[in-house]
Structures are given as structure tokens and as C-alpha cells.
Structure 1
Amino acid sequence: MTARRPHWMLAGVVAGLAGLATSYATAMVLTIREAPLVAVAELVIRLTPGPVAEAAISVLGQFDKTFLVLVILLLLLVCFAVAGLLARGGWYRPLLVWLPLAAVGLAAVLTQRQASAVDTLPVAVGLLTWVTLHSALTDALERGRRRPDLESRERRVFLMVAGAVSVAALGIAVAGRVVGAGRRKVEASRRLLRIPGVTRREAPADTSVGLAGIAPWQTPNEDFYLIDTTIAKPVIEPEEWSLRIHGLVERELTLDFSSLVARRMTESWITLSCVSNEIGGGLVGNARWSGVRIADLLDGLGVSPEADCVLQTSHDGWTCATPLEALTDDRDALLAVAMNGRPLPIEHGFPVRTIVPGLYGYVSATKWVVDLEVSTFARSTGYWTTKGWSSEGPVKIASRIDVPRAGAEVEAGPVSFGGVAWHQHTGIESVEVQVDGGPWTPAELGRVPSADTWVQWAATIDVPEGDHEVRVRATGKDGQTQTSVVRSPDPDGATGWHTVDFRAV
């Protein structure tokens, strides 16, 4: 009995993986964005307490969701193996595993925004695969257990069937991916899209201080940081997108993509930074964003004097509440349709997202935006504020050392230091560098087109041989100097001076 246990476990694992493959293929064929496994992962993300989510982002960065999916898969493999062992006690016992797993998948799917009956089909297909295939796989093992004289032959039959099923399941998943290639279709539409008023411009030459190793002033699209709560990014054809503006307004407005891009296009260099960014972290980038000013859209709709925020909603159901003032003042708060002269990448919100200079993304930057409800903070709650983050998220002044890197060895004597600093919608007045607690040395700053972008800085200081520590601080155009008090990102952004250790030889 003990010697056959791995085969029973294998039967459960093979059936379980085949069920995942058929559910995934069904979701792809039906062009459902969330396969059950993805829906479960996104449900976990939504239910994760804020401090836990922040810790995961700090440790894993943009790989946090990949790690989560791998953990879920590992737990599923354990459940599949348990189902296989339970089958030794009767055909019905694995249902104690299959049914709860299907129930979790169904609950996760139904909690997705705008879920319908069609979205439940992948769960049903996966459950049917689990039950029927597992029963078929264990038949040979059961016959071998009852007839010891046939045990060897039945094991060979089982292994042959298990191998064939594994190959078939892989083929089904691949076929589903091919048939339901919705993303590739949208990518093709994106590449062919030409938006009037969108131009491609290189970064102004005088924005760079000319020091190698500093992050480029203009962040390429492929290098721009990615932080969101989705695992499968929404794929939306431009002609299928629409935006509803409603709530505390006298007149509602519904826009489709063609009517949006027919309006006057505004293009601005804007730096975005994530509230989860640690001091010296890389969750910040600068790009040229093209879109329509939200203030222009709200103008003429008769916004109620009672309103003080706009509740933004993404296609995937993510929400944030943005101060109305930040959307209607002189800053270029945009419904953005292009990034660095090209239509938005799918990962960055294609076809339309919001950009609001001076606010952290968790209260302003909604990718795949489909709804703007003019409201009040008393009535509106965004995704992250339910997890303990601040209701308003103005960007805090910050600076970073890019050169030298931590632990680097440099030649003693004049040493070049450099990096970036930012305080969106306020601007950077000065940056200072300090080595080993000595005097603060003013840094040279690159020129910038507006207060909404970061600025490169560089300074040269004589350093003797030995181990050293360099730190940086910035002062904004409002006279505010970056505080030395170290605070974690939760609940409204990190503070402190970035400090780097290095050796001069």
C-alpha cells in the first residue's frame, strides 16, 4: 500500500494541473480576462492588509505578483496530491478537495468587476476536468490494488495515461492561448493607432548633467516602473472603451475614444512616483504624457460646490479618490492616451489612464480608467485607503544617489556624485551632498521644463582613501528642505535622506 502512494498522489496532481489547463484555455477562448487562478490571486491582493502588501512590494518589487502566483500554485499542488491520496478511500472522497477549490475559484471570479455568468464557465470546466479525469486515472490503480497479479501491468497503464493526459493538458492550454489571443489583437491595434496631436520628442539636451550612471532624465517606456493590483492586464480595444463622468454634476458626460482624442491634446513632461518607494528606491520615472486635461472636461458640467473629490474606477474595478482641486487647478492632470510619443503600453493603462502631477499614484493614477464620479471624500473610499493608507497623497520631496552605487570602489581624490531629485508640482530649488558628516556641498542641477519633473544633480568632492558615507538632501521651490527623519512609506510616503557607503582607494 505504501509503495503505491506516490502513484495516487501523481494521479491527483496530473488531474489538478489538467483542470487548471482546461479552465485557462476556456477563459482564453471566451476572451475572459481573469482565468480562475488569476482571479484568486487578485482576490488575495485585494484582501491583503496594507502593511503586508507594503512589505511584499518593498522586498519583491515588481515581482511581488509573480511570487504570489507561484505560492498559490505550490499550495494547489499540495491540495492536488491530497486529493489523490483521498481517492484510495473511495471515488467520492477527492470531492472534499475539488469542490472547495472550485468554490474559492468561483467566489474569486464573481467578485471581479462586472462579472457575469459567462465568467463562471472556466470554473465549471476545471471542476469537471478534475472529477472525471481523476476518476479515470485512478481506475487502473484501483484495479491493480484489487488484483495483485495485474498490479504491474495496471501501473504501466496508469503511467502511460498520466503521461498522455499531461501532454494533452499542455496542448489544450497552448491552444487556448493561441485561439484567445486577445492581447495580441489589442497590441496590433495599439501599434497601428495614430493619435492626432501626439508628438515624439527627445528629452531637452540641458536636462542632463552629463554624469554616466545617473538614471536617464526621460525614462523609456520599457523601463518605467510597474505597480498595480492586476495579474492579467485588461486588454481593451480603443473602439470598445468609454468613460462616464457623473455624480455631483448638473450634466453627465460619456466619452468614447474617438471623441476624447478629437479634443485639444496637451503634452507634458511629468514624473510619477509610487507611495511604496523606499528612500533611494527605483519606483519613480519621468515621461512625456499626452492627453486631454481633466479640468477641461469638468468645465461646463456644472460641478456641485459640495464636491471635493473624484472617485476614479478602473476597468478591473480598482478605485481611488482624488482631490477635486488637483484635477481642476493649473496643473496638467490628464486623461492620458500616449506615453513618450506612443500610445500607452497595455501595462500602463492602454487605451486611457489618468495622470495627476504632484500626487502619488494610489490616489490619482488610474490605469484603464472607465469611470469618474464627482463626489465627496465622506462618501468615497479608494482601494488603498481601505487598507490604512492616507486619503490624500501629495508627493513628498525626495532625492536619490545613483553615483556611486552602494559598496562601490572609486579612486581617491575628486569623486563625482550624482542622482535625481523630485517634488512634483512644486519643483526642486537646490540639492546638497554631504560626505562623512562634513559640510553640505551644493550640487549642479540640470534644467527642467516644469516643476512637474524630476531633476538630475551632480557634485564633485575631494575624498581621501578609506571607507566613506555620502548622503543627499533636496530643497523645494517652496523653501521646504527634505527631512532627515526616517519613516516607512506607510501611510503616505517615505521620508529620510538617502545614504550610500563606498570605498576610495
Structure 2
Amino acid sequence: MTEQRRPVAARAFVIGALASLAGAGVAELLTGLTRTRLSPILAIGESVIELTPGAVAERAIDAVGRLDKPLLVVGVVIGTILLGGAAGVLIARHRAAGVVAYIALAVVPLAAVLTEPGGSSGSAVIVVLSAVVTVVIAVAMLSSTRYESVGRRTFLRDVAILGTATVVVGGIGRWMGAAFSAVEDARDKLKLPVGKAATPEGVAVGVDGVESWRTSPGDFYRIDTTLAPPLIKPEDWELRIHGMVDHELTLTYDDLVDRGLEQSWVTLCCVSNEVGGDLISNTVWGGVPIKDVLDEVGVHPDADALLSTSDDGWNCGTPLAALTDGRDALLAVTMDGEPLPVEHGFPVRMVVPGLYGYVSATKWVVEWEVTRFADFEAYWTERGWAPEGPVKTQSRIDTPHDGDQVPSGRVAIGGVAWAQHRGIEAVEVRVDDGDWEPAELARVPNVDTWVQWKWEWDAEAGDHDIAVRATDRDGDVQTSRTRGTVPDGATGHHTVTVTVT
């Protein structure tokens, strides 16, 4: 038999890459149709997150901030393109070897969807079907002799058709990601016995450029380890409580809401927040006091930790003392007077004032185990972070910004300070090597929120360094020692340099 002429390598690479993307597009479509949480692309991304050492993850967050998740997805897509293209070149030269290569490439997403908490047998079937689509397209297009003989225009036309079909199919799949819309529908239908609380009087200092004391849900910072949030309808949610307790308990959503909801203003911040960073937000939360639930199950006296687990498998250990000392630690079901947004933990999450989120703020919480710190390691402590994460006393300059030019004369300097569950007693500002000067503080409704501050400066021409420090109500002054976020939060004075003209 006369050997067929093979496509040139460049064209084979393009076709192979598009075949892989077409398979991924079909997977997205099937994921949307079946209302599955994780597509193969997202499952691979979450596996990468799971396997990444804590120090590496921290450096990534430092480098790209909130773009870490989108960039990870882009990286997985680029990897799909490169590996699919290479398999296309191989299949053009030796069909059987190329088919084996495509099958081997399917092993990675298959392992990801089977090992991630959001995966399922249905997700595995989607991977297999997408792999079949990839192989069929690649074999059909690369076994033809036409791509060596046809003109460039025809080749580009066929590539454009395949590429457009891939985008359309994948886009429809994401649009039909109706598992999300179904949960959103259930969320919208909830009628909870809380209203939107008014912003307390006196919390703003009236300086332009200072971040709003009340953070809208859309602007609230978000840091978590999942690419796609767990999708749980309220009627499907349960919280299993077990471990070192007198009796186990399983709560449903209705059980929780029927206990009555309390509202509290609480500022949450991330342990990854650098000095002067923006991974901190403030809002009013509504929920059931965690202490009441723990009192009901009867905690053994030698227990010192609560290991909470999210529906996506993430977990953290929280000191029991911080959950039972009377602070407003909540099993929260509302945020800013509305049911929690899906991305912020709907239907139920934990909110604990005074602790960084990595040891307390479990979203999509489905399990509690009352235990001891000595008996477990949680998600971030396995990656080198401290087992307990009390929030450090911190302050930030919001205006002026580093590098700004300001006119000489009276200049308003302002920002925020926080020391949740201790409260802020004082904020001081220093220019260059001068004395620390007291700033004016706004009012706050409790010690669990940040506070705005302002200071009037008689600015003189030249370059000046402006620093801020806070003192909490325990009398502890914010340290000047500069330290990174690992293992339990950054320290140092936030300093900006401005030019007075």
C-alpha cells in the first residue's frame, strides 16, 4: 500500500492543539448540561493547587495577587494546547502512537476529577467522552492528505471553523453551568428573618480616598483554594458535628435558621495580606452563634480545637477558646443582609472575629470535628503555616498613595486600622524622623471591625516618608519589625513616600 503523505509538522501541531481544545470544549458543554461542579480543566487546576507547597503558593499570591486563579486556568489551557499539538504531530507520523499519546493525556484530567472532592463518576465519564472527541477529530483531520496539498487559505478556513465551533460549544457549556444558576435560584427564593442593617453613624472620617468602612459583597476580598465554588442547595446542606462531644448532631439548613439569627459587624482579613495590603473587608454577618451549638453537643474538657471541613475538602483548625469566649463567632447564613453569595460560602460558612481566615473562616462548611490540635494537621498547617492565627494589630495609609504628588499646605492623611476582638485604642502618624502624632479615630460599633482614622499634615516642599502605627486596647503597639506573611501574618509599619510641590 502506498504510504499517504503526511501533513507538515506545523499544520499537524495546529490541528492537534485544536482537537484537544475541541475535546475540552465538549467537556465544558457536558459539565454544564449535567450540572457538574468541576470540568476537567478546573479539576486539573484544583489538583495543582492541592499539590503546590505553601511557600510556593504564597510567592505566587505575592506576585500576582487575585490573578492567581485565572492565571492558573490559563496555564492549564496553554498546557492543553502544547501537549495536544505535540500529540497531533505524533499522530500525523504514526497514527497508533499518536492515539496512545492522546489517551495518555486523558489520564491527568481523569485522575484529577476522581481525586478532587467535587469530582464524581459522572465527571470521569465526561473526561472519557472528551478524549474520544479529541482522538476522532485528530485522526479524521490528520489522516487526510489534503493539508499538504491544499492552499493556505483553505487550511486557515478549516482551522477557523473548528476553532469557532470549539469556542461556541465551550461557551454554551459554561453558560449552561446551570448547577450554579440552580443554586442561585434557590438562594434568591430564600426568605430569611433578617434585614439590611444600616451603616452605624460616625464610622467615616470624611477623607476622600479612604476605603469605605462598609464593604459591598461584590467588593469583598476573596481568597480560597477552589477554582469553582461548591454548589449546594439549602435543602441539601447538612452539618455533621462529631468527635470529642457528649453526643453527635447533624444540623440541616432549616434547623439552623429556626434557631434564630443574630447579626454582627465583623472585619475579616487574610493571613496573606501584606503590610498595607487590601485583603481585608468589613460587613455585617447574620447567623447562629457557634458557642450555642457547641454547648448543645457538649464539648469534652480536654478538647482544644474544632476541625471544620468544607464541601470541597478544604479544612482548618480553630481554637475552641475563640469559639466559646463570648465573641460573635457565627455559623453565618447572611452577608450584608442577604443570603451568602455562592462564592462567599453559600449556604453556610464560619465567621470568627480575631482570627485570620485560614484558621477560622471555613466556607461551604459541612463537617465539624471537636478534637485536639495535637491530633491533626489542616490544609494550611500542612504547608508550613502556624496552627493558630490571631489577627495582628495593623494599620494602613489609604491616602495619599505611595509616589503621589501633593500640594504644600494642609493635607488630609487617612486610612484604616484593625485588631479584631481587641479593638483599636489609638493610631499615630509620623513624617520622616519626626515624632509620632495622634490621629483622629472614627467611631465603631464593636471591637471586631476596623476603624477609619485621619491626621492633618502641614506639608512642606520636598520628598517625605509617612508612616502609621496602631495601638490596640490591650496596650500593644504595632511592631516596626518587618516580616513576611508566613507563618502567621505580616508585620511592620505601612509607609508611603510622597512629593510635596
TM over 0.5: yes
What residue ranges of structure 2 are gaps of 5+ in the alignment? Answer: none
CA distance in 2, matches of 1:410, 1:492: 36
Picking from 322, 325, 339, the partner of 1:326 is 322
1:173: which partner in 2?
Answer: 170
Partner of 2:51: 47
Distance 2:346 2:150 in 1: 57
SS in 2 for 1:481: coil
Quick one: which amino acid aligns to residue 4 of structure 1?
V
Q: CA 1:2/1:207 → structure 2, altered by over 3 Å: closer, same or farther?
A: same
CA offsets 1:220-246 (integer angstroms, 9 cap, x no match): 111111100111111221111111111
Q: For residue 267 of structure 2, what is the amino acid of its counterpart? A: T
| Structure 2 residue 33 is matched with structure 1 residue 29 | yes
For residues 373 and 366 of structure 1, the distance between their equivalents in structure 2, rounded to whole angstroms, comes to 13
Counterpart in 2 of 1:119? 123
Listed as ranges, the matches of 1:446-461 within 5 Å are: 446-461=442-457
Please give the alpha-carbon distance, in whole angstroms, between the structure 2 residues aligned to 1:410 and 1:116: 58
The 1:415–1:161 alpha-carbon spacing in structure 2 relative to 1, beyond 3 Å, is closer
Distance in 1 (CA, whole Å) between partners of 2:86 and 2:210 is 52
Please give the secondary structure, in 2, of the residue aligned with 1:250.
coil
Taking every aligned residue pair, what percent have the same amino acid on both sides? 48
Find 1:415's aligned residue among 392, 411, 416: 411
CA distance in 2, matches of 1:493, 1:144: 58
Spell out the pairing of 1:347-366 with structure 2 (5 A cutoff).
Answer: 347-366=343-362
Structure 1 letter corresponding to 2:46: E
Q: Give the Cα separation in 2 of the matches to 1:113 and 1:55.
A: 26
After TM superposition, give the deviation of residue 175 of structure 1 in Å: 3.4
User: What SS does structure 1 have at the residue aligned with 2:104?
Assistant: helix
Partner of 1:148: none
Matched, 1:267 2:268: no
Structure 1 partner of 2:302: 306
Q: What is the number of residues matched between the two proteins?
A: 497
Q: In the alignment, is the contact (CA less than 8 A) between 1:137 and 1:158 conserved in 2?
A: no
Q: CA shift at 1:115, angstroms?
A: 4.1
Q: Is 1:137–1:162's contact at 8 Å kept on the other side of the alignment?
A: no
Contact kept, 8 Å, 1:79 with 1:97, in 2: the verdict is no
Write the mapping of 1:293-442 to structure 2, written as runs, cut at 5 A: 293-442=289-438
For the residue of structure 1 that corresponds to 2:282, the secondary structure is: strand
Q: Indicate if the aligned counterparts of 2:18 and 2:81 stay in contact, CA closer than 8 A.
A: no
Distance in 2 between residues matched to 1:102 and 1:231, nearest whole Å: 20
Alignment of 1:58 with 2:62, yes or no, is yes
Residue pair 1:354, 1:364 contacting (<8 A) in 2 also: yes
Give the Cα separation in 2 of the matches to 1:59 and 1:107: 29
1:95-130 Cα shifts (integer Å, max 9, x gaps): 353223211111111111264322211111111112
1:56 shift after superposition: 1.2
Matched, 1:105 2:109: yes
**Corresponding residue for 1:152?**
150
Contact 1:291 1:335 in 2 (8 A): yes
**Would you say the 8 A contact 1:29–1:177 is kept in 2?**
no
Deviation at 1:158, TM superposition (A): 6.0
Query: Do the aligned residues in 2 keep the contact of 1:307 with 1:375 (CA within 8 Å)?
Result: yes
Shift of 1:144: 6.4
Report the Cα distance in structure 2 between the residues aligned to 1:407 and 1:33, rounded to whole angstroms.
44
For residues 41 and 114 of structure 1, the distance between their equivalents in structure 2, rounded to whole angstroms, comes to 12
1:389, CA displacement in angstroms? 0.4
Conservation of the 8 A alpha-carbon contact between 1:140 and 1:158: no
- The alpha carbon displacement at 1:88 in A equals 2.5
SS in 1 for 2:332: strand
Structure 1 residue 33 displacement after superposition: 0.5
* TM-score for the superposition, normalised by structure 2: 0.96
Residues 3-14 of structure 1 correspond to what in structure 2 (within 5 A)?
Answer: 4-14=8-18
1:217 matches 2:206 = no
Amino acid at match of 1:270: V
Indicate the residue corresponding to 2:496 in structure 1.
500
Q: Could you say if the C-alpha distance between residues 156 and 418 of structure 1 is closer, same or farther in structure 2, counting changes exceeding 3 Å?
A: closer
Please give the root-mean-square deviation of Cα atoms over the aligned residues, in Å.
Answer: 1.8
Query: Could you tell me how far apart the structure 1 residues matched to 2:7 and 2:98 are?
Result: 20
How much does 1:5 deviate? 2.2
Q: Which residue of 2 aligns with 1:192?
A: 189
Aligned partner of residue 96 in structure 2, secondary structure: coil
Displacement of 1:2 in angstroms is 10
| Separation in structure 1 between the aligned mates of residue 118 and residue 396 of structure 2, nearest angstrom | 42
